[in-house]
Structure formats: structure tokens, C-alpha cells
Amino acid sequence: MKRVFVIGVGLTKFGKHEHLSTRDLFFHASKKAIADAKIDINDVDGIYFGNLSSDRFEHQAHTAAINASNFSSRNFPSTRIEDACASGGVAVAQAYLAIKSGLHDTILVGGAEKMTNLSTPEVTDVLGTCADNIFELPHGITFPGLYALMARAHMHKYGTTKEHLSMVAVKNHFNALKNPYAQFHKEITLEKAMNSVIVSDPLNLYDCSPITDGGAALILTTEEKIKNLDVTPVEIVGVGQASDSISLANRKSLTSIEANKIASKRAYNMAEITPKNIDVAEVHDCFTIAEIITTEDLGFFEEGKGGKAVEEGITSIDGDLPINTDGGLKAKGHPIGATGVAQIIELVHQIRGTAGDRQLNGVKYGLAQNMGGSGATSVVHILKEVD
């Protein structure tokens, strides 16, 4: 089996791009990734593309073929992946498999989402398609609502507080100040986070990731190919994915996400490491409670201690285990299909030493966890510095 390396990364600014569509966002991110890898588009064998719903957002499906034809007439195999908010991460996992198996040498993989052209209730409707349309949606539940249900259960069982939730938002907004690609460059106080308008009690506006346009792309290739390239490769050493019931009520637990536990265990086993080896992590903080629960699921903290870890500064950029150094979904933004790919880009920057003002020291291993729905899909990648 082949070893798989990231050799190029590209990101658009996250935020509102009034005059750009999904195809533009992916093209611009891809072009940057190709330039960063110092290759030519003709060196690419195929494209994997993560996207939730260009169908509903822009009335445009079949976007994978559009992405291929944007480059040249090379007739690439081009495949779109839809796994709710994990679409980007799963696209990377599929690209990894294509190279690992020996089928392809070099793959362009990324994701994009164009969301800001719809109103908030309309976006809520589109995202709602990721929940169960018989057992959840008829009751008027939303994604903030689903995570609010988990938040209240976690607070009740473990004593996690509203302050703990807001501290995640404060931390991630602080980290985004140093990320030029982030949607928000606005430091917030705990008081401001605590007192923002209620979305779905106990979650308020600052507990929720925003509506975002953006694209992200990577170039993956083999050990043989990197020998002739003047780049700093980062190896993907662990990949794990798992699914569960999409209906929250019917999972084993309301205070932890089983798919996260299984996906991360698979990734740790493949990488032959434990959670203690991880130097930096990108976790799917679509809502502040998701970061708290996920850091427990990934084995960083005991169940129920995720809130305390934020309070103690362990997950701050100067803490023992920095989480979401790029601002996370909360402050960097959450253009659905791009999210899982952008997480991996941050790890690549931290490992190769190109993270600018938010650069950490001595990062050897980074972990990215990308999640779909209320946790029915989880995909985990572990990246490692090349010795």
C-alpha cells in the first residue's frame, strides 16, 4: 500500500462572496493548492469534491463535473461526496483511498459551499435535510436545537455550565484574529458571548457557527512523486470514519458521540499512536457544545471534563493541547463542504511551520475531526511531520 502525502493547500477567504458561486470558490482554492504544490493541473489524475447542497443553495447539482471542466479538457474522473457537514473530510478520506490503493498518484481534493445567498430560515431548512425527516424534522427541530438538546443533557449530567460553552466561543474568536482567512476578526468578551440573543436554549448566537461562503483544496500524492518536488510534504498517517443513527434520540448516549469515538480509535490505531501524542487538533465546533463533547470523545479529556479543560486554558493557543488554532468553525466560518478540508489545511500549516502569527512550536502530530449532522457521520484524519 502506498503512503499518502499532502503537498499543497489552498483556501479562499471565508465569509460572504456575493459574486462567487460554488464553482468559483472551488476553482480559486484549487488553483492555490496546485501552485502551493508546485505542480501543473496536468499532473492531477482526478478530483474529489465535498459539498452538501449546491442543489438547494444554487439549484445546481452535478458540480463535480463542472469542477473538472473548469480546468481543462482532460476529462478527469471527478466525484462529489455528500455526507452532511462531514462532506469535506470524507472527500479527503476517499482521495486518500484512491492513492493508497495505487489507483491514482496525484489527486486534487477539496470542498466548497455557497450559502449566504439564502436567508437564515432558508439555510436552516437546507441544513435540516441532514436530520431525520420522520423522527426529527416534523417537530420543528433545527441543528442549533439538536446540539442544544445535547448541551442541556451534558450540563445536567456533568455540571457543564453556560460559561463553559461561551468560553469556547471566546477562545475561537481570539484565535481567528490571527487567521487572515477567517470570517470574523472580532475579539469577544465572555459577557458578550453569554448575553447574545437565544437561538435554541441553552445555545445563543455566539454558540453557533455562522453562515459562510468558502472553498478549500489539497493536493495529495505518493512517496515516489514527492522525490522530484521542492515542497515540504506532510503525511496522512491515520484515517478513521464511522456512522450512527441520524436520529439523535436513538443513539446510545445524548452526552457523547459514538461515531467520534469509533472513528478516532480507527485513526489512532492506523497511526499507531494514542491521544497523548497529538500536539494540535482541529475539531468540528459547529456549536460550542460540539467542541466540548468531541474533545472528550477523542480521548483528550475524560467524559464530562471538556468544559473544565476550556476553563483551565488547556485548549487555548498557548495551552497544552491547542484546539482550533485557526478560529474553528465558530469564528473562521463554516462553508459546509469546505470545512473538513480547511481543518486539514490548518494542520498542514502548523506542521510545516507556515501558520504565521498563530504558529505553534514543535508540532509533530495533528488531528482533524469533521462531523456530519448531529454526529451520525464522523471522520478523523491524523497528520504527521515527515522526519
- Tell me how far apart the alpha carbons of residues 349 and 360 are, in angstroms, rounded to a whole number: 10
Residue 159 in contact with other proteins, rule: CB under 8 A: no
Would you state the cell numbers that stand for residue 79, as one nine-digit string? 466525484
Cβ proximity to other proteins: between 121 and 362 the closer is 121
CB of residue 147 vs other proteins: minimum separation in angstroms?
A: 9
What are phi and psi for residue 111, nearest 5 degrees?
A: -160, 160
CB of residue 155 vs other proteins: minimum separation in angstroms?
A: 9
**Contacts for 191 with CB less than 8 Å, ≥ 6 apart:** none
Q: Which of 36, 83, 113, 136 binds other proteins (CB under 8 A)?
A: 136
Cβ proximity to other proteins: between 196 and 277 the closer is 196
CB of residue 251 vs other proteins: minimum separation in angstroms?
A: 9
CA distances from 211 to 17, 114, 228, 329 (A): 11, 9, 41, 10
In one letter, which amino acid is 43? D
- Tell me how far apart the alpha carbons of residues 218 and 64 are, in angstroms, rounded to a whole number: 15
**Are the beta carbons of 276 and 241 closer than 8 angstroms?**
no
What are phi and psi for residue 239, nearest 5 degrees?
A: -135, 130
- Catalytic status, residue 62: no
Cβ proximity to other proteins: between 168 and 289 the closer is 289
- Footprint of other proteins on residues 311-350 (CB under 8 A)? none
CB of residue 205 vs other proteins: minimum separation in angstroms?
A: 9
**Contacts for 366 with CB less than 8 Å, ≥ 6 apart:** 278, 279, 280, 281, 282, 346, 347, 350, 351, 382, 383, 384
Would you state the cell numbers that stand for residue 38, as one nine-digit string? 508546485
Residue 202 in contact with other proteins, rule: CB under 8 A: yes
Q: Which of 3, 13, 56, 152 binds other proteins (CB under 8 A)?
A: 152
- Binding part of the chain for other proteins, among 63-71, 135-143, 334-342, 378-386 by CB under 8 A, reads 135-143
Size of the site for other proteins (CB under 8 A): 37
- Tell me how far apart the alpha carbons of residues 133 and 121 are, in angstroms, rounded to a whole number: 17
From the candidates 104, 334, 349, 381, which is the catalytic residue? 334
CB of residue 369 vs other proteins: minimum separation in angstroms?
A: 23
- Footprint of other proteins on residues 66-95 (CB under 8 A)? none
Cβ proximity to other proteins: between 232 and 253 the closer is 253
Residue 120 in contact with other proteins, rule: CB under 8 A: yes
CB of residue 148 vs other proteins: minimum separation in angstroms?
A: 4
Cβ proximity to other proteins: between 55 and 125 the closer is 125
From the candidates 85, 130, 208, 286, which is the catalytic residue? 85
Would you state the cell numbers that stand for residue 351, as one nine-digit string? 506542521
Residue 313 DSSP SS3: coil
Residue 303 in contact with other proteins, rule: CB under 8 A: no
Residue 242 in contact with other proteins, rule: CB under 8 A: no
Q: Which of 247, 303, 304, 319 binds other proteins (CB under 8 A)?
A: 247
- Footprint of other proteins on residues 168-197 (CB under 8 A)? 197
Three-state secondary structure of 138-189 = HHCCCHHHHHHHHHHHHHHHHCCCHHHHHHHHHHHHHHHCCCCCCCCCCCCC
Residue 129 in contact with other proteins, rule: CB under 8 A: no
**Contacts for 255 with CB less than 8 Å, ≥ 6 apart:** 150, 153, 154, 157, 158, 293, 303, 304
- Catalytic status, residue 85: yes
CB of residue 130 vs other proteins: minimum separation in angstroms?
A: 13
DSSP element (H, E) containing 239: strand 234-243
**Which of the residues are catalytic?**
85, 334
Contact residues: other proteins, CB under 8 A: 120-122, 124-125, 128, 132, 134-142, 144-145, 148-150, 152-153, 156, 197-203, 245, 247-250, 254
